[in-house]
Amino acid sequence: MNGLEFSELFMLALLMIALGAGGGFVAGLLGVGGGTVFVPGLYFVFTYLGYDPAQVMMLSVGTSLAIIIPTGISSAYAHYKKDSLGPDLVKKIGIGILIGVMLGTLLADYFGGFILQVIFAVCIFVVAGLVLIDTQKFSLGKELPKMPWPALVGCFNGALSTLMGIGGGMLNVPYMTLYGVSVHRAVGSAAAMGVIVAIAGALGFMLIGQAGANLPPLSLGYVNIIAFLCIVPVSVLSAPLGVKAAHFFAPNDLKKIFALYLVCVGLKMSWDILNV
């Protein structure tokens, strides 16, 4: 390994540690999953380091999905121990999610990085709107519709989550609560569904990225191992600090802060798209 390669590895690791610390803190502060924090963070870091623009968004989405795996498993297990995870919900919606993830991976490979960037930028504004809506004040029914409707919704959510590099909680939780599922049970079940998205999606991005050129060092397809190894432990350590800081804000204020953050991310992504 020559000096140039070492300096590149060092800078990549250093920036990923910083991203992990900041991302974990923001996730703990706002109570959000990693995808909405790490996809834009990875995108900006990879862009700053001068990696191939055609690969940057694919790398950001694939790496984000890999990062969600350990945190998602930990979250799902914690909800399972508290009996707030509904196996019936995971079975009904999860079947569709798995199919949706495979579809989303194929679409990502077909679309390429630029279209993924457009999809993320558009959808992040939609998510910002969902954050501000109190779904508990609305209802579409007292229970989920009969099959195959939950599976079809799961398929759509799984595909979109994969294209965005998120676990899908922001899509699946509102859907379940609108049909009378308690918030705690919806969140716990969505955590388990997020694991399905993360594992299947990360594997898919590893496979479709095998032929990728000009990838960052130590990348397995569209999953960067350095980013994964640096971000996961640091974000786990910094998240509790964000949780403590959250106690200084009212829940509605946190929602507004998160929505503002999403809008800012969406605007920056949109600006980059328009200036390609």
Is it the case that residue 4 has pLDDT exceeding 50? Answer: no
Q: Is the pLDDT of residue 27 over 80?
A: no
- Return the percentage of the chain with pLDDT > 90, whole number: 36
- Say what angle helices 225-246 and 53-81 make with each other, to 10 degrees: 50
Please report the DSSP string for 61-120 in residue order.
HHHHHHHHHHHHHHHHHHHHHTT---HHHHHHHHHHHHHHHHHHHHHHHHH-HHHHHHHH
d(CA 170, CA 256): 15
Ranges of each domain in the chain: 32-274
Segment 219-265, tens digit of pLDDT: 999 999 999 999 999 988 887 887 788 778 777 787 788 888 889 98
Encoding tokens for residue 269?
Answer: 């992504």
Question: Could you tell me which of 51, 43, 67 has the C-alpha nearest to residue 215?
Answer: 51
Rounded CA gap, 189 and 230, in Å? Answer: 28
pLDDT, one tens digit per residue, over 181-227 is: 887 888 888 888 988 999 999 999 999 998 777 788 889 999 999 99
Quick one: pLDDT band at residue 30, thresholds 50, 70, 90?
low
User: Torsion angle of alpha carbons 11, 12, 16, 18, nearest 10°?
Assistant: 10
pTM for this entry? 0.89
